[in-house]
Amino acid sequence: MSTASITPREQPWILPSRGVVGISCLIVAESAVFIIFVVAYIFYLGKSISGPNPRDVLDVPIVGTICLLSSSLAAYLAVGALRRNKVRICSLWLAATVLLGSIFLAGTAREWYQLIYKDGLTIRTNLFGTTFYSLVGLHATHVIVGLVMLALALTFTLFGRVSEAHAQRLDVLSLYWHFVDAVWVVVFTVVYVLGR
Amino acid sequence: MADSVPLTGALDLTSAHERRPLTLEILHAWVTTVDHKKIGLMYIGYALIFLVIAGLEAIVMRVQLAVPQNSLVSPQVFNRMFTMHGTTMVFFVGMPILFGFGNYLIPLMLGARDMAFPRLNAFSFWISVFGGLLLYFSFLGGDGLYGAGNAPDVGWFAYAPLTAKVFSPGHSTDYWTLGIFLSGIGSIGTALNIVTTIVVMRCPGMKLSRMPLLVWLYLVMCFLVFIAVGPLTAAQIMLSIDRYLGGHFFDTQAGGSAVLWMHFFWIFGHPEVYVLVLPAFGFASEIIPVFSRKAIFGYPAMVTASVAIGFISLSVWAHHMFTVGMGPGANTFFTLSTMIIAVPTGIKIFNWVATLWGGNIRFTTAMLFCVAFLFQFLVAGLTGIMLSASPFNWQLSGSYFVVAHFHYVLVGAILFTIFAAFYYWFPKMSGRMMSETLGKWHFWLFLIGFHLTFDFMHIPGMLGMPRRIYTYELDRGWGVWNLIVSTGAVFQALAIACFVINLLRSYFKGKIAGPDPWDAWTLEWSTASPPPVYNFATIPSVQSRRPLWDLKHPEDSDSKYEL
Amino acid sequence: MTWLILGESGLFDLRLVAHRWLLSVPFWLSEGRTSIFSPKGTPAHFIFGLSMFVLAITAGIFLAAGGVLTYVLIRYRHRATDSDYEPAQIYGSTQIELSWTVIPILVVVVLFLTTARVIFNTEYARKPREALDVIVIGHQFWWEFRYPKLGIVTANELHIPVSDPHHPTPTYLEMSSSDTDHSFWVPQLAGKMDVIPNRVNVMWIDPETPGLYLGQCAQYCGTQHAKMLLRVYGQSRGDFDTWVAQQQQAEKRDASTEEGRSVFLRNACINCHAIAGTVATGRFGPDLTHLAGRDTIASGAVPNTPENLRKWIDNPDQMKPGCLMPPMHLNDPDLNAVTAYLTTLH
């Protein structure tokens, strides 16, 4: 009895990287969660019995959006730099990503402060309040998680712990960040463009 | 038939000279393991414990319902029983046991050494365990406002607004929400692991079209998990926001919609039952060919049908809502989509029958369970067709006919194939054969009990008996049928006892199995029983769907016929 | 199914034939008071016809597929005298697989079209001008019925006129809930329709003969879901008009029960219950103006006798544990008086 026969392969047996497949699966699963919140938001548009309406209190967050979308570009450039073993440039772009993401978050915080204290819109005010804070809040939570991970990655690069061999892992993280940005595009369109 | 030397020709002698480990060391090894085989076994053991607990909950219900106007338990207790029975069986028996088998078998069938993310594997398991324990802690710690607490009693699908704070004060509903939320995280983790393993860890030569059908079915199942669990998680977050932050997602007083919860729940709930049944199809697709001594008939069609079932199952959810008043357009659409899913499902049944045709069928215990599965799944599918006809559904939904139908699928199809899987793969997992005598007792007792209970359960449904009632009127004529249904539960309990005894006795005293006791054809049978921790001494390379058939029948190997 | 479009007189005969002789539905299944196979109203008849058709098809599929499976298991079983041969490995057959794809698709098409027709017949049926309107409000754990055009409010027992097929007078139910989800199910008259808060669902029923039609709530709504029973009294035109006239009157005052009346009016009863013509206008619980005319109390759970009524008022939880009426903590004289008063409310 011999081992299962090994015949010479015409092509090398190459399969995708596990990190990319794994994060793609996670993205599909998270998308399902977001889609339901978006559906609830759209369903309840115009159905609030009382209280502030979107068009009365929402200002389009242009600056924050530009920052967030640019941060995706910065993340992409960070990964590219690391692939070419340019660790310092990578850490620069990572810092830019974290900075831009934080500006977005700060913008959201300011917006919420205004909504709660000036316009009197809270999660319990009406259907708009409930769906708005849930959807934007869920997205913001994912932004925070992403920023924490990016900050960690940045710290590791600053301490000289990161090299070209880790490019794959940083790519996986950047895919998550691109997903977060893609979700923002949808949320932005639904809440600030269509919903108003 | 059985070889004492594994086909790969490698024997693991490393453990022969170690000292016997202490109990504490064994425990530590299990708790900290990241080995897919150990995690798989823990999933299965955990699920079996909950199977017994949920079974006891069912017995309480059946004794209460055996006669009309019974007062064995109060309505409050009964309502908790059916909520916990359903929730436990779906989330803490069905999902874990199937993830357990998947965890154990998939790397072996793919010729890999472990899953793609071993630590994620362990994390997913332990968070599911935590979810289950949290749900059951509700029996002890659920007290809340007005002393109303205790275990959840809102039904396994927790319709709003019954779950709102005003109608469900206390924390019982929150235990339901949290327990399932945590198990959902575990499910997504394991599903992610399985998909990644399948995509990136197949051994050389194993193209997707050469994977065992079980692996294909788990692949489709995991995609359904990604798409289905999210909506439930989202709905539960919304429910918690309603209950604790004053939100109005399902608050009908503020303009919220009770029907929205139903849509979200069933967008999860229907794919969920396909999540449960697809691995069952996988078990049948591995076991039936081996005991017919023939390759599966129509492998490409089986794969296509499975993928089709996965896709179509995402479009049928509102057949659980035909009585909600969605309007004729929606009712018609969901009738159509539900009837369409019968086509690929029927194709699978026909292919199994065609596999049996012309074979040399051996009725081992595993095969007996698969044969029963074929008949029972056929019936379950047909009662499903009855329910898909929306006006017929207006009479049958919410009644014991539906309860009979879905138990026919969950027990008659899924649990039967799970039993078959036990008898088939226990030798691989433990190195010993299960007792065929006890196995046959298990089979026949369970078959009688199953049919006594679930065949006759259709009748009270047709006579107008709704679900979730703790008792019923004397003048409806439901008493005699309920008594027969309850009697079946006794047989099932005895059968499960046989099964547990068989498991324990065989583990210690069963006949040594060897690597390939069934003369089977997939890669897990090419290594020792139980496999060494690294699975294969050398990673195999394959040229067909049945690598061991090719080795045993070089003159007639599959690789000559497969496209 | 041609009988679905035949004139009403032909309809009944064929239904009787199908009803009795189709083997797939044993005779005794149609005997129950709440059997779905004992239709006594048009929607239930539509569903019955469809169900017979579906049952016939599924029975045929079961016999065919089950028969082949049984044959295969017997014919190809391994016998002790057989050698351990490996049979011919057949991997598939395009022709066979195509045929068992196409045939099920055709069956699905036929089934679907038949079903769609019944859906539209039921849901888009034209509402006759003589239809009776009733508003149904589901509560935890009782039914409120209002007849807006007749000025009647009652509970738990629904009186409606029978409907003559030549001159239909169906009852249109507009249903909503005041709290959780419920479902209105009287199997002999129609399929069920859910009763949902913040949503109005409409269904129609038309009993063909006078009689009592039983049903109950069919969507889990809380602790006493099991005892939220339904009693639909189909009445001839004359009887129904008499009942309406009686219900339209306000409270019947009787000098002998003045004491009980004042007990009622000075206790918390008036917070939840209403009696027309008094200051009691509570809407949380059933309207009691004509309580004595009902056969049951506690939404069908208990027969309406003075003893039961007394026990109910004293401690409702004993008869219907978990219901939302609290025990009234009345002393015995008050309890007797108020019971006596309520039994005079015809």
Q: Considering all CA atoms of chain C, what is the largest pairwise distance in Å, rounded to the nearest integer? A: 98
CA of B533 vs chain C CAs: smallest distance (Å): 33
Smallest Cβ–Cβ distance between B155 and the set C34, C191, C220 belongs to C220
- pLDDT mean across residues, chain B: 93
Sign of CA dihedral B112, B116, B119, B121: negative
Is B563's pLDDT higher than 70? no
Residue B223 forms part of a structural domain: yes
Phi–psi pair at C234, nearest 5 degrees: -80, 125
B239 touches chain A (CB under 8 A): no
Amino acid letter, B397: S
Q: What is the torsion angle, in degrees rounded to the nearest 10, for the CA atoms of residue A173, residue A174, residue A176 and residue A182?
A: 170
- pLDDT mean across residues, chain A: 92
Residues whose CB is less than 8 angstroms from the CB of residue B317 and which lie 6 or more positions away in sequence, other chains included: B263, B266, B267, B269, B270, B271, B334
C87-116 pLDDT, tens digit per residue, is 989 999 999 999 999 999 999 999 999 999
Residues of A in contact with B256 (CB under 8 A): 44, 127
Residue B343 contacts residue C100 (beta carbons within 8 Å)? no
Give the Cβ contact number of residue B541 at 10 Å: 18
Q: ipTM of this predicted complex?
A: 0.93
C209: left (phi over 0), alpha (psi -120 to 50) or beta: beta
Q: CATH says C132-248 is which class?
A: mainly beta
Residue B29 forms part of a structural domain: no
Whether residues B541 and A7 touch (CB distance < 8 A) is answered with yes
CA of B7 vs chain A CAs: smallest distance (Å): 6
User: Can you tell me the mean pLDDT for B326-350?
Assistant: 95
**Strand, helix or coil for residue B183:** helix
Whether residues B343 and C65 touch (CB distance < 8 A) is answered with no
Q: What does the pLDDT read at residue B436?
A: 96
Alpha carbons B90 and B187: distance in angstroms, whole number = 12
Mutate to test the interface with A, among B108, B200, B253 (most CBs of A within 10 A): B200
Q: Does C have 3 or more CB contacts under 8 Å with A?
A: no
* Percent of the residues in chain B that have a pLDDT greater than 90, as a whole number: 90
Q: What does the pLDDT read at residue C82?
A: 79
Domain boundaries, chain C: 2-123, 132-248, 255-342
pLDDT tier, B558 (very low <50, low <70, confident <90, very high otherwise): confident
Q: What does the pLDDT read at residue B5?
A: 53
Q: What's the pTM?
A: 0.93
The CA R_g of chain A, rounded to the nearest whole Å, is 21
DSSP H helices, B201-257, are: 213-245
Alpha carbons C194 and C176: distance in angstroms, whole number = 8
Give the Cβ contact number of residue C165 at 10 Å: 13
Q: What is the torsion angle, in degrees rounded to the nearest 10, for the CA atoms of residue B73, residue B76, residue B82 and residue B85?
A: -90
Residue B7 forms part of a structural domain: no
pLDDT tier, B187 (very low <50, low <70, confident <90, very high otherwise): very high
Closest-approach residue (CA) in chain C for B475: C33
**Strand, helix or coil for residue C270:** helix
Whether residues A127 and B260 touch (CB distance < 8 A) is answered with no
Residue C160 contacts residue C207 (beta carbons within 8 Å)? yes
Alpha carbons A171 and A166: distance in angstroms, whole number = 9
Whether residues A29 and B226 touch (CB distance < 8 A) is answered with yes
Is B146's pLDDT higher than 50? no
Give chain A's domains with CATH numbers: 18-194 (1.20.120.80)
Q: Which fold has domain C255-342?
A: Immunoglobulin-like (2.60.40)
DSSP H helices, B111-212, are: 118-141, 172-200
Mutate to test the interface with B, among C33, C69, C231 (most CBs of B within 10 A): C69
User: Can you tell me the mean pLDDT for B316-326?
Assistant: 96
B15 or B201, which is more confident: B201
Q: Which fold has domain C2-123?
A: Helix Hairpins (1.10.287)
CA of C38 vs chain B CAs: smallest distance (Å): 9
Q: Count the domains in chain B.
A: 1
Q: Does B have 3 or more CB contacts under 8 Å with C?
A: yes
Which residue from B65, B103, B15 is spatially nearest to B421, judged by alpha carbons?
A: B103
Amino acid letter, B359: G
B196 touches chain A (CB under 8 A): yes
Alpha carbons B159 and B421: distance in angstroms, whole number = 35
A141-157 pLDDT, tens digit per residue, is 999 999 999 999 999 99
Residue C203 contacts residue C193 (beta carbons within 8 Å)? yes
For the record, the structure tokens of B190 come out as 């394991």
Residue B14 forms part of a structural domain: no
Q: What does the pLDDT read at residue B13?
A: 61
Whether residues C88 and B358 touch (CB distance < 8 A) is answered with yes
**Strand, helix or coil for residue B522:** coil
**Strand, helix or coil for residue A84:** coil
Alpha carbons B475 and B490: distance in angstroms, whole number = 26
Average pLDDT, consecutive stretches of 10 residues, N- to C-terminus, chain C (346 residues): 37 45 50 89 94 95 97 94 86 93 96 93 86 96 96 94 92 96 96 96 95 96 95 96 92 85 92 92 93 93 94 93 91 94 91
Which residue from B143, B145, B329, B297 is spatially nearest to B213, judged by alpha carbons?
A: B297
Residue recorded with tokens 């019968």: B342
Residue C327 contacts residue C316 (beta carbons within 8 Å)? yes
First-to-last alpha carbon distance for chain C, in angstroms, is: 48
B166-186 pLDDT, tens digit per residue, is 999 888 899 999 999 999 999
Q: How many pairs of residues across A and B have Cβ atoms under 8 Å apart?
A: 137
Residue C272 contacts residue C313 (beta carbons within 8 Å)? no
Q: Which of B:70-99 have CB within 8 Å of A?
A: none
Q: What does the pLDDT read at residue A171?
A: 96
Residues of B in contact with A29 (CB under 8 A): 188, 191-192, 225-227, 229-230
Is B562's pLDDT higher than 90? no
Smallest Cβ–Cβ distance between B260 and the set A1, A40, A48 belongs to A40
CA of A85 vs chain B CAs: smallest distance (Å): 26
CA of B475 vs chain C CAs: smallest distance (Å): 8
Alpha carbons A67 and A108: distance in angstroms, whole number = 12
Residues whose CB is less than 8 angstroms from the CB of residue B7 and which lie 6 or more positions away in sequence, other chains included: A1, A3, A4, B515, B516, B525, B526, B548, B551
- Burial label, B554 (beta-carbon count in 10 A; 0-12, 13-18, 19+): exposed
Q: At what angle do helices A127-158 and A87-117 cross, to 10 degrees?
A: 160
Q: Please determine whether the domains at C132-248 and C255-342 fall in the same fold group of CATH.
A: yes
Is A7's pLDDT higher than 70? no
Smallest Cβ–Cβ distance between C321 and the set B75, B398, B558 belongs to B75
- Burial label, B147 (beta-carbon count in 10 A; 0-12, 13-18, 19+): exposed
For the record, the structure tokens of C48 come out as 């019955």
Residues whose CB is less than 8 angstroms from the CB of residue C238 and which lie 6 or more positions away in sequence, other chains included: none
The CA R_g of chain B, rounded to the nearest whole Å, is 24
Distances (CA, A) of C179 to B134, B160, B164, B284, B497: 29, 10, 10, 46, 44
- Kindly report the CATH number assigned to the domain that includes residue B477: 1.20.210.10
For the record, the structure tokens of B189 come out as 């983790």
Residue B394 contacts residue B459 (beta carbons within 8 Å)? no
Residue B365 contacts residue B330 (beta carbons within 8 Å)? no
Q: Does B have 3 or more CB contacts under 8 Å with A?
A: yes
Chains that touch C (3 or more CB pairs under 8 A): B
pLDDT tier, A64 (very low <50, low <70, confident <90, very high otherwise): very high
CA of A11 vs chain B CAs: smallest distance (Å): 10
Residues of B in contact with C36 (CB under 8 A): 395-396, 462-464
Q: What does the pLDDT read at residue B190?
A: 97
Smallest Cβ–Cβ distance between B233 and the set A16, A33, A40 belongs to A33
Amino acid letter, B48: L
Q: What does the pLDDT read at residue C263?
A: 93
Whether residues C217 and B293 touch (CB distance < 8 A) is answered with no
Q: What is the torsion angle, in degrees rounded to the nearest 10, for the CA atoms of residue C240, residue C243, residue C244 and residue C250?
A: 180
Alpha carbons A43 and B164: distance in angstroms, whole number = 20
Residues whose CB is less than 8 angstroms from the CB of residue C231 and which lie 6 or more positions away in sequence, other chains included: C156, C157, C158, C212, C213, C214, C295, C296, C300
